[in-house]
């Protein structure tokens, strides 16, 4: 919900900027294009950061599960050997 409100605010800001821009149409389009590219680059960087964080968290979770399984199996083996003796 907040992201949608943010995007609406960005859209209104861009439209007002275009309406009150002192530059020619061509120059305004170039500026908008540069700003849009900057936003896209920022979004791409954010997406890369999120993907990297996700991969790291997933790897840590998998390592934790693996260690926990090993500990459980070791405890199970020890318990079985106590009853076998």
- Look up the pTM and report it: 0.54
3-class SS string, the chain: CHHHHHHHHHHHHHHHHHHCCCCCHHHHHHHHHHHHHHHHHHHHHHHHHHHHHHHHHHHHHHHHHHHHHHHHHHHHHHHHHHHHC
Tens-digit pLDDT profile for the chain (85 aa)? 577 788 788 888 877 877 777 777 788 788 888 988 988 898 899 999 999 999 999 999 999 999 999 999 999 988 888 877 6
């Amino acid at each position: 919900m907040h992201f949608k409100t943010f995007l609406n605010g960005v859209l209104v800001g861009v439209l007002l900027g275009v309406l009150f821009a002192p530059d020619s149409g061509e120059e305004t389009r170039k500026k908008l294009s540069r700003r849009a590219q900057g936003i896209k680059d920022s979004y791409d960087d954010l997406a890369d950061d999120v993907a990297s964080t996700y991969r790291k968290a997933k790897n840590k979770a998998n390592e934790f599960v693996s260690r926990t399984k090993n500990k459980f199996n070791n405890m199970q083996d020890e318990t079985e050997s106590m009853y076998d003796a």
